[in-house]
Amino acid sequence: MNKPVVVSEKTQTEPVIVDGASPALTASAAGPAYTVLAGISFSHFLNDTMQSLIASVYPILKDSYALDFAQIGMITLAFQFTASLLQPLVGHFTDKKAQPFSLSIGMSSTFFGLLLLSVAHQYVVILAAAALIGLGSAVFHPESARIARLASGGRYGFAQSVFQLGGSFGTSMGPVLAALIVVPFGQPSIAWFSSIAFLAIVVLWKIGQWYQPQIIKARKTAAFASHPDTPSQRRVLIALAVLVVLLISKQLYVSSLSSYYIFYLMERFGVSTQAAQLYLFIFLAANAVGAFFGGPLGDRFGRKIVIWFSIVGALPFTLALPYAGLAGSAVLTVFIGLIISSTTSSIIVFAQELVPHRFGMISGVFFGVAFGIGGLGAALLGRLADHTSIAFVYQVCAFLPAIGLLAVFLPKMQQGPR
């Protein structure tokens, strides 16, 4: 059984395994493939724009079909659970045999999911449409994260942040597009967004054409080798467990805002649905900016420092949010989004470096945990809101960033100046 390894962040030469080989060494020498990074980030933008429509149309679905908060949470769970369950399996499969055109094929599931959601008139059909969109996400994330790393030229945090930036901005665009298009024109207008899915299919097919020869080159490169600074398997397992818990705490809090912040603002401050969606956009846009800067900061100062700051640093602002006014809430969510989202890239790259010979599976597990916890958390928080209030939910969730103190158990990674 292969022993998990860590490669020094200082050297930044650990290989990425594709079909059992190591393309990262040659990629590092060539420098980042910026066109590919831009393409995969743009695809992530398109993918997450479509996904964020689900949460953005919750008020419409709630009013049209008389849904309670628990049922709203179950829609999120249907989407997130499909993505969460399948992502590690997809990553494990592509570790053994990379599939360059799987991304465009998987995006077809999102295409049909959007069309189904636009015509769904029964709750079970809405759940099925959400699950189809989740399936597309399950195929997209593990392999696209691999492509981003392969195109990084050794700047792994930077590449992961560029990749995450597209997804974060896509997520932030959902509420805006919902406010401008779906709210005025209703549920059938969701079908218009299938054109975005078609564009993503075309872009991902072109990226697959770039990726295919990289796989062939990978098979000819040197086999994976251990690094002398490798920690024990026990320490690696503890570190992976800590990273999962940190990602859970972060994702639960983000899920509380992305799923119920609109209802919180409408209930507490009496704002309209469209105005609340714009306030949600402010948070999600800040989330996108923070996600971009987190990776390069991790490359420069070390992943562990960024993880410490991004999770624990958000705590004062999350504790203040339930007691702030409307303007104060908008300002606080900007700081929360900027700080808490900067940890995503560092957590994922940290985990990839702990187990580089299982890159696809590890990426799938961590993306899967993010989606799964988001869905499960939305369902549980919806039930809590039904029995108490939305305001109480935010008072409870305010303490989640304190879990970031567990970062003390992460191993120290060797880090040098950039």
- For residue range 314-371, what is the model confidence (pLDDT) as tens digits? 999 999 999 999 999 999 999 998 998 888 778 878 887 787 767 667 767 776 766 6
For the ranges 20-29, 126-135, 182-191, 246-255, the lowest mean pLDDT is seen at: 20-29
Identify which has the larger pLDDT, 155 or 116. Answer: 116
Q: For the chain, what percent of residues have pLDDT higher than 90? A: 12
Question: Is 80 exceeded by the pLDDT of residue 119?
Answer: yes
Which string of b and e fits 50-73 if b means at least 16 CB within 10 Å? Answer: bbbbbbbbbbbbbeeeebebbbbb
Question: Is 70 exceeded by the pLDDT of residue 30?
Answer: no
Domain range 24-219+232-409, its CATH number among 3.30.10.20, 3.30.1490.20, 3.10.105.10, 1.20.1250.20? 1.20.1250.20
Residue 21: beta bridge partners? 18
Averaged pLDDT for residues 31-60? 83
Contacts of residue 388, defined as CB under 8 A and 6 or more positions apart, other chains included, come to: none
Do the Cβ atoms of 37 and 164 come closer than 8 Å?
no
Task: Report the 10 Å Cβ neighbour count for 97.
Answer: 10
For the ranges 119-123, 180-184, 330-334, the lowest mean pLDDT is seen at: 180-184
DSSP-derived letter for residue 193 is: G
Predicted confidence at residue 3, as pLDDT, reads 44
Question: Is 50 exceeded by the pLDDT of residue 12?
Answer: no
Do the Cβ atoms of 112 and 50 come closer than 8 Å?
no
Token pair, residue 45, equals 């933008």
- For residue range 270-285, what is the model confidence (pLDDT) as tens digits? 998 888 888 988 888 8
- For residue range 198-252, what is the model confidence (pLDDT) as tens digits? 999 999 999 988 887 876 665 555 344 444 455 678 888 888 888 888 888 888 8
Short-list 136, 156, 134, 135, CA closest to 146? 156
Name the region of 23 (left: φ>0; alpha: ψ -120 to 50; beta: rest). alpha
Averaged pLDDT for residues 179-188? 82
Q: What are the boundaries of each domain within the chain?
A: 24-219+232-409
Predicted confidence at residue 412, as pLDDT, reads 73
